[in-house]
Copies of this chain bind each other. A is one copy, B any other.
Amino acid sequence: MSRPKILITNDDGIFAPGIRALWEAMSEIGDPIVIAPHTEQSAVGHAITLTDPLRVVSVQRSGGFEGLAVSGTPADCAKIAIKSILDQKPDLVISGINSGSNIGTNIIYSGTISAATEGTILGIPSIAISLDSYESDEYRGAKQAAIDVAQHVLNYGVPKGTLLNVNVPYCLPDEIKGVKITRQGNQYFKDEFDKRTDPRGRTYYWMKGNIVDKDESMDMDGKAVREKYISITPIHFNVTNESYMDELISQFPNE
């Protein structure tokens, strides 16, 4: 059996440590192809580039890592890779390893998830994987999680339109307690704006804030990661609020 073709991308950019760790991990189970943003694209949400051309350049890093850097967003990378650059569809798209978790409400801002979403839309089983730390390069736990979940998806597949959002606790591999299949919880970023004046007397604002997570149920993504479990959340982009359809229809009786 031929080795699976695994498309790797991310939102921290092709020179981030996390994508190298993911490339190392995927090299153990398949043939990875790296096509990722040239520069950091955090909090770009599901942006795509319509009004500018995309550039694609070859990048080599030490240790044999090579890939293509795209002058666009994570969603652009997945799209152009699958639709234009690759000769055949990959068997798997995996996005990460993101620096910082992608949990709760905040996932709507996530470039990491948007790349996996794009893979899903284009019919490829897809995974987003994030490490719950902004500072560390201790990727051993996350690498093993990437291998395990990727192998699982290659074996079992995922339903059409669904991707797996994986969040790995920040700790040594043998401190990880196991895997929890979770729901998107209620973690959010409580943001404020810091209003300042520049040297020319003009006002500007910085966004700042901190994460709030009050979820206490172990089936919630944030709680599972806090308790040192690998959290796997199956997510899809059918966003109709079905539970409200009947009430809303009853409010428009003349339709």
Residues of chain A whose beta carbon lies under 8 Å from any beta carbon of chain B: 40, 42-51, 53-56, 75-76, 79-80, 83-84, 105, 107-109, 114, 117, 121, 152, 156, 158-159, 161-162, 178-181, 183-184, 188, 191-193, 195-196, 202-207, 229, 232-245, 248-249, 251-252, 254-255
Residues of B with C-beta under 8 A to A108: 46, 114, 117, 237
* Bound CA span A184–B204, Å: 38
Residues of B with C-beta under 8 A to A178: 254-255
* Bound CA span A183–B55, Å: 37
Cross-chain contact A234 with B238 (CB below 8 angstroms): no
* Bound CA span A121–B209, Å: 15
**8 Å CB contact of A84 from B51, B205, B251, B252:** B205
**8 Å CB contact of A50 from B43, B181, B255:** B43
* Bound CA span A57–B24, Å: 48
A sample of 14 cross-chain residue pairs with beta-carbon separation below 8 angstroms, ordered by A number, consists of A44-B44, A45-B45, A45-B46, A46-B46, A46-B109, A49-B207, A55-B202, A84-B205, A180-B255, A181-B252, A183-B240, A229-B255, A234-B241, A234-B248
Q: With A45-B47, A237-B108, A239-B184 as given contacts, are A251 and B156 in contact (CB-CB < 8 Å)?
A: yes
Cross-chain contact B184 with A238 (CB below 8 angstroms): yes
**8 Å CB contact of A204 from B55, B179, B196, B243:** B55
* Bound CA span A10–B242, Å: 26
Cross-chain contact A50 with B42 (CB below 8 angstroms): yes
* Bound CA span A70–B153, Å: 43
Cross-chain contact A48 with B43 (CB below 8 angstroms): yes
Closest chain B CB from A169 CB (angstroms): 14
Residues of B with C-beta under 8 A to A206: 53-54
Residues of B with C-beta under 8 A to A254: 178-179
* Bound CA span A240–B65, Å: 34
Residues of B with C-beta under 8 A to A243: 159
